Amino acid sequence: MSQIHSRQPVAVTLVTAPACHYCDDAHSALGDLAADYLLDITEVAIDSPEGKSLTAIHRPMMSPLVLIDGEYFSAGRLPRRKLTKLLETRGARRATVEGVR
């Protein structure tokens, strides 16, 4: 019988701007990744108080700003391979039971 270990999800903060196609793309990509990895995704509007604060701290050149566990990860187009590699390194893949999710 397989054991499932309780792990903490990786916290992903997505700071988005209105009418931003990279933001829409990142939102979609994170949704897809959440099917295979333990993610806690928080979307923050860039014009909200939290969004303004995060933007002031990290000074992204483009939207969206992506933070992983509160640390800068990327700005602009989401680097999917880089994120997948990071998630694998952190052991964030969802547990499977007998090969079935």
Query: pLDDT 10s digit of each residue in the chain, 101 long?
Result: 344 444 789 999 999 999 999 999 999 999 999 999 999 999 999 999 999 999 999 999 999 999 999 999 999 999 999 999 999 999 899 876 545 45
Q: CA 7 → CA 20, 38, 76, 94, distances in Å?
A: 33, 8, 29, 9
pLDDT of residue 99: 52
Instruction: With H, G, I as helix, E, B as strand and everything else as coil, classify residue 46.
Output: coil
Strand 39-45 versus strand 65-68 pairing type: unpaired
Q: Domain of 37: which CATH number?
A: 3.40.30.10
Can you give the residue range of the structural domain that contains 35? 14-89
Domain count, the chain: 1
* Distance linking the first and last C-alpha atoms of the chain: 15
